């Protein structure tokens, strides 16, 4: 199936068909996480595409961004986040721990982990925080065409995920450019549920991190019915902090027959470009016994 951003008819799409009666941007799903002491208890909203027992990488990565942002001083900006996904993130309670690697006056380096219930790290991350000096340097704008805004983009849903619960339902998706399944694609994403229960609105940085891990699914390089494309990492580099709730992944993916791919994306909010992301992918053929949830 392909979904074209230039389609003349702009309506709610579910696997290419209109679904009447669904209110855009509204979800009855629970928040991704409920905070219980120092544990983040996930809901079905966090379920990812590869297994009903595991989370999508975006929401737990956003928990680390949340922790890093709380450690950064008010006159600084998070300029880079790198996440290493060490093992599948279970759909079970998690804890987040962070530490200061170096507390410089201009650049601060932080590190953190997401831990499963048995204390084993499932995500390791590093964070680069830089001091801000407003209006100190004149820098020309990068000459890039902005994607069509969310209101002018085509609603769609990921064809390789199904069911009424999961990350694909907890996020609103709109195609701004390109054809899903046919090369580079720009898509706007917005969280339909809070990252953490009771914390609304979800801060823009957490919104961005929660969706940036989807770039490889927005611009797929392989047929999801025939192969998987799990990313082992995610790097987000930001030249300014994002604003608002809508984030655009202007994404493209390159892959090789030996099984390694790269998904890269320009990251936008509704006011302009904010940075870039990069994922390293492991491309593997599906075995005959594997069940493809979107089929």
Mean pLDDT computed over every residue of the chain: 87
Containing H/E element for 178? none
Nearest Cα residue to 216 out of 189, 252, 244, 240: 252
- The rounded Cα 276 to chain-centroid distance in angstroms is 12
Please report the pLDDT score of residue 51 as a whole number. Answer: 86
Please report the pLDDT score of residue 13 as a whole number. Answer: 27
Containing H/E element for 209? helix 204-212
Please report the pLDDT score of residue 27 as a whole number. Answer: 52
Please report the pLDDT score of residue 288 as a whole number. Answer: 59
- Express each pLDDT in 170-227 by its tens digit: 999 999 999 888 889 999 999 999 999 999 999 999 999 999 999 999 998 888 888 8
Which tokens in the block code for residue 282? 């492991």
Proportion of the chain above pLDDT 90, given as a percent: 71
- Say whether pLDDT at 102 is over 90: yes
**Helix (H/G/I), strand (E/B), else coil: 19:** coil
Binning the chain into helix, strand and coil, the percentages to the nearest 5 are: 15, 40, 50
**Helix (H/G/I), strand (E/B), else coil: 90:** strand
Please report the pLDDT score of residue 12 as a whole number. Answer: 31
Please report the pLDDT score of residue 157 as a whole number. Answer: 83
- More confident position, 130 or 27: 130
**Helix (H/G/I), strand (E/B), else coil: 167:** helix
Please report the pLDDT score of residue 286 as a whole number. Answer: 85
DSSP 171: E
- Say whether pLDDT at 81 is over 90: yes
- Say whether pLDDT at 291 is over 90: no
Please report the pLDDT score of residue 294 as a whole number. Answer: 34
Containing H/E element for 236? strand 233-238
Of the listed ranges 8-22, 102-116, 125-139, 181-195, the least confidently predicted one is 8-22
Q: How far apart are CA 153 and CA 5, in angstroms?
A: 7
Q: How far apart are CA 116 and CA 73, in angstroms?
A: 28
pLDDT band at 22 (very low <50, low <70, confident <90, very high): very low
- More confident position, 136 or 272: 272
Q: How far apart are CA 133 and CA 225, in angstroms?
A: 49
CA dihedral (153, 196, 200, 23) positive or negative: positive
Query: Is residue 208 within 8 Å of 267, Cβ to Cβ?
Result: yes
Q: How far apart are CA 105 and CA 109, in angstroms?
A: 11
Nearest Cα residue to 223 out of 155, 290, 157, 160: 160
Q: How far apart are CA 19 and CA 149, in angstroms?
A: 22
Please report the pLDDT score of residue 18 as a whole number. Answer: 30
- Express each pLDDT in 23-37 by its tens digit: 344 457 899 999 999
Contacts of 134 (CB under 8 A, 6+ apart): none
Domains and CATH numbers, the chain: 33-133+147-285 (2.40.160.210)
Contacts of 136 (CB under 8 A, 6+ apart): none
- More confident position, 137 or 132: 132
Which tokens in the block code for residue 194? 């809070």
Q: How far apart are CA 129 and CA 241, in angstroms?
A: 11
- Express each pLDDT in 87-100 by its tens digit: 999 999 999 999 99
Q: At what angle do helices 58-71 and 204-212 cross, to 10 degrees?
A: 150
């Amino acid at each position: 199936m392909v979904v074209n951003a230039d389609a003349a008819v702009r309506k709610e799409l579910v696997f290419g068909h209109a679904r009447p009666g669904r209110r855009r941007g509204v979800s009855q799903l629970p928040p991704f996480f409920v905070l219980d002491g120092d544990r983040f208890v996930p809901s079905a909203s966090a379920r990812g595409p590869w297994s009903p027992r595991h989370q999508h990488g975006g929401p737990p990565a956003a928990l680390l961004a949340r922790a890093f942002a709380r450690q950064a001083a008010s006159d600084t900006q998070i300029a880079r986040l790198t996440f290493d996904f060490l093992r599948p993130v279970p759909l079970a309670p998690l804890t987040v721990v962070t530490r200061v690697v170096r507390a410089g006056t201009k650049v601060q380096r932080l590190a953190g982990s997401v831990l499963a219930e048995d204390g084993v790290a499932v995500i390791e991350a590093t964070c680069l925080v830089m001091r801000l000096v407003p209006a100190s340097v004149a820098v020309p704008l990068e000459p890039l065409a902005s994607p069509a805004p969310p209101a002018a983009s085509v609603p769609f849903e990921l064809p390789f995920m199904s069911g009424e619960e999961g990350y694909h339902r907890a996020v609103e998706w709109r195609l701004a450019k390109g054809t899903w399944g046919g090369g580079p694609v720009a898509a706007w994403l917005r969280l339909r549920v809070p990252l953490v229960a009771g914390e609304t609105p979800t801060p823009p940085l957490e919104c961005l991190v929660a969706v940036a891990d989807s770039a490889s699914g927005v611009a797929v390089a392989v047929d999801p019915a025939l192969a998987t494309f799990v990313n082992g990492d995610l790097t987000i580099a930001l030249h300014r902090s994002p604003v608002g709730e809508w984030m655009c992944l202007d994404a493209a993916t390159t892959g090789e027959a030996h099984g390694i791919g790269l998904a890269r994306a320009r990251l936008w909010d509704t006011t302009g470009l904010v940075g870039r992301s990069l994922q390293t992918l492991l491309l593997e053929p599906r075995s005959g016994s594997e069940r493809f949830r979107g089929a």
